[in-house]
Amino acid sequence: MVVRAVADRKLTQLDVYVGYLEELAKLEAETFVADYRSVGAARYYLQASIECCADVGAHILATDSSRRAEDYRSVFRILGEEALVPADVAVAMEPAASLRNRLVHGYDQIDDGRVFEMLKTAPATLRAFAKAIAVYLERTE
């Protein structure tokens, strides 16, 4: 059984981080790319958001599944394969795991214009994942 307090804490953090990403997405692309603070904040909040999703997903797998994920991408894949979250949501989250890895390990090779593009789509994907987790938690209580 999922420890609801753990999941709720992660979903609350995610909601805050996604709100920050939505604010950053309101900037003009040129303004965003020219401002190291905005770029740094976007990179951090994208990474932290994806980690929140992966953490809550891994927690669900650890408590409600016999399968274990080897990495962030497989967390989302297994959640979808086991219908713990809708398959389309899981599939949408898999590239986020790769983005997180690039942000963490290849940060010196990140195109900030691409980070800005991600700000236009990532919040909706992250919110869809959070909603899917909330539905799962309600279903399992």
Q: Which residue has the tokens 């990474």?
A: 47
Q: What is the pLDDT of residue 74?
A: 93
Q: What is the pLDDT of residue 77?
A: 95
pTM: 0.90
Question: What fold does the segment set 4-140 form as a domain?
Answer: Four Helix Bundle (Hemerythrin (Met), subunit A) (1.20.120)
pLDDT in tens, the chain (141 residues): 567 888 999 999 999 999 999 999 999 999 999 999 999 999 999 999 999 999 999 999 998 888 988 998 999 999 999 999 999 999 999 888 888 888 888 767 788 998 999 999 999 999 999 999 999 999 887
What SS3 class is residue 136?
helix
Q: What is the pLDDT of residue 102?
A: 82
Question: Which residue ranges make up each domain of the chain?
Answer: 4-140
Q: What is the pLDDT of residue 107?
A: 63
Taking the C-alpha atoms of residue 2 and residue 57, their distance in angstroms, rounded to an integer, is 10
b/e string for 8-40 if b means 16 or more Cβ within 10 A? eebbebbeebbebbbebbebeeeebbeeeebbe
